[in-house]
Amino acid sequence: MQTDTLIANLAGHSDDPGYTPTPDDELRALFETIRGIDVLVARIAARPVSPTRALLAAITIEQAKHVVAVAQLKVAQLARITLVNELPADTLTQLRSITEDPTAFVTGAALLPDDPRTVPTGRRTTL
C-alpha cells in the first residue's frame, strides 16, 4: 500500500481522490499505525500456528526495531532544528495529554496546540 493511501485510509479521507495528506493527517496515521502494530502483533502471538510463521514475525519485528531506531534519530534532529526546547510549558502539557490518549486528535475532534507566534530566540541548528 502506498504511503499516501495508507494515510488517507487512517486519517479518514479515503473517499477523496484529490487528497493530499496534511502534517496533522500524517501524525494521526502515525498514532494509528503504532496502535495497529500493537494489536496485530498481539493477534499473531495469540495464535501459535507454526514455527515458520513465528520466525517470520520475529524477523519482521527485529526489522521494525531498526526502523524505529532510525526514526528516533530523525525526530531528534527535527526537534533540535525546530527548537522544541523553546515551546511553552502548557504546550508540552497539552501534547503529553494527546500522546496519553490520542483518540480525540486521531478522530479530528481535537486539534494540536498552536505553534508559538513569536520567533524562537535560539539559533537553529543545521547539519
* Residue 24 grid coordinates: 496533522
Contact 106, 56 (CB under 8 A): no
Q: How far is CA 66 from CA 20, 45, 70, 73, 102, in A?
A: 28, 20, 6, 11, 25
pLDDT of residue 125: 55
| Cα dihedral sign, 83-84-85-90 | positive
Contacts of residue 31, Cβ cutoff 8 Å, sequence gap at least 6: 102, 105, 106
Per-residue pLDDT of the chain (127 residues; tens, 9 = 90+): 588 888 888 877 767 777 788 899 999 999 999 999 999 999 999 998 899 999 999 999 999 999 999 999 999 999 998 889 889 999 999 999 999 999 999 988 999 999 887 766 666 555 5
